[in-house]
């Protein structure tokens, strides 16, 4: 769970700095930081893709997983959940400000492909590089959010540790059931999702429904197990 603790630490630092001094940080600085993280995330995804998996397994996993994701409308449901929470926030109350900060930060930091992919990779392989990258992103976001919404952002640390850490522990339980080729296929597929996330959200080059590819992370190891391609 090292990646989750790093993530919690950056949110703590970023949220505290943002709460105390965030209004003095220029928007241009935050934009430059996010673009740098975006380029790094893109290259990290490419690196993961070339880690020994059969490209056909990855391609089939993306196609099958994408169809499943579109049928289940995963991306739309995640967005709808966020909208549903926002509509039910208390209005015009001091404690409502804290609730808004907590829920907004929790959704931003814990709902998305990078959380799931990073937690699985940390739990399965002890590789927290994705969560470390996410930690830097979340730290910058926490700075901006706490500057605007206040210290309630820091409460999202509880959700990060509970939800993201729980996924990591689940992956550790799952690890003995996955062979090296199955994990390689999952890693390579995750690399494609990571690259898509960088292009879509961080660099804002082209909109993509990356969340609808999440089922591919499950499909990829199953294809290795049941459809050997040499």
Determine the Cα–Cα distance for residues 138 and 84; give it in Å rounded to an integer: 22
Give residue 168's pLDDT. 93
Full domain range(s) for residue 22: 2-226
The model carries a pTM of 0.76
What SS3 state is found at 20?
A: helix
Determine the Cα–Cα distance for residues 228 and 230; give it in Å rounded to an integer: 6
**123 is written with which tokens?**
């739990």
- Total of domains in the chain: 1
Torsion of CA 132, 186, 72, 173, to 10 degrees: -80
Q: pLDDT confidence of 198, banded at 50, 70, 90?
A: confident
Q: Which residue has the higher pLDDT, 127 or 77?
A: 127
SS3 content of the chain, % helix, strand, coil (to 5): 85, 0, 15
CB neighbourhood size of 139 (10 A) = 21
- Asked if 48 and 187 count as a contact pair (C-beta separation under 8 A), the reply is yes
Residues 157-186: tens digit of each pLDDT: 998 999 899 999 999 898 888 888 988 898
Torsion of CA 203, 209, 211, 217, to 10 degrees: -100
């Amino acid at each position: 769970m090292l990646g989750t603790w790093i993530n919690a630490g950056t949110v703590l630092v970023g949220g505290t700095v943002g709460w105390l001094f965030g209004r003095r940080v220029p928007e241009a600085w935050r934009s430059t930081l996010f673009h740098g993280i975006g380029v790094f995330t893109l290259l990290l995804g490419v690196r993961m893709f070339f880690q020994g998996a059969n490209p056909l397994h990855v391609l089939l996993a993306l196609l099958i997983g994408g169809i499943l994701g579109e049928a289940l409308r995963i991306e739309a449901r995640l967005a709808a959940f966020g909208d549903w929470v926002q509509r039910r926030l208390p209005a015009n109350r001091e404690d409502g400000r804290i609730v808004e900060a907590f829920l907004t930060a929790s959704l931003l930091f814990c709902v998305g492909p990078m959380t799931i992919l990073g937690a699985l990779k940390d739990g399965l392989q002890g590789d927290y590089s994705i969560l470390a990258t996410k930690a830097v992103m979340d730290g910058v976001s926490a700075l901006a959010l706490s500057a605007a919404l206040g210290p309630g952002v820091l409460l999202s640390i509880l959700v990060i540790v509970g939800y993201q850490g729980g996924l990591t522990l689940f992956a550790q339980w799952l690890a003995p059931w996955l062979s090296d080729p199955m994990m390689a296929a999952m890693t390579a597929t995750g690399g494609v999702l990571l690259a898509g996330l960088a292009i879509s959200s961080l660099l804002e080059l082209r909109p993509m429904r990356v969340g609808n590819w999440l089922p591919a992370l499950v499909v990829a190891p199953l294809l290795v197990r049941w459809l050997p391609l040499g």
